[in-house]
Amino acid sequence: MSHFKYHVFFCTNDRVDGSACCERHGASDLRAYAKQKLKDMAAEIPDKVRINSAGCLDHCAAGPVLVVYPEAIWYTYVDKEDIDEIFESHLKNGQIVERLLVEE
């Protein structure tokens, strides 16, 4: 059994050559927001969740992106409201946020 129900990996890759990357869309700031949100919602989320940084997840065109394991659900997001929706729907209630899914 895993120690965590969900691992949420935020791509925080920053390409020094100026090409498309998640960090250019504020990925680190929104990851920090997610970490604080997890602390704030600790009593509301029934299972253990871990927020992690990741290097390039190779979905630069869809960025910024995060992936929720173990289901391997890929999301794109724009702002705190999108992160809030992922937390409420997916991490708290187990419902995938269809509108934010990364199209394969």
pLDDT one-digit tens code per residue, 34-85 = 999 999 998 888 779 999 999 999 988 887 999 999 999 999 999 999 999 9
Compute the half-sphere exposure of residue 100: CA atoms within 13 Å on the CB side of its CA: 26
CATH classification at residue 62: 3.40.30.10
81 found inside a domain: yes
1 found inside a domain: no
Q: Are 30 and 80 in contact (CB under 8 A)?
A: yes
Q: Number of structural domains, the chain?
A: 1
90 found inside a domain: yes
46 found inside a domain: yes
57 found inside a domain: yes
DSSP string, 2-43: -S-SEEEEEE----TTS---GGGGTHHHHHHHHHHHHHHTTT
Q: Which domain holds residue 27?
A: 6-100
Is this structure's pTM higher than 0.75?
yes
Residue 1 has pLDDT above 60, yes or no: no
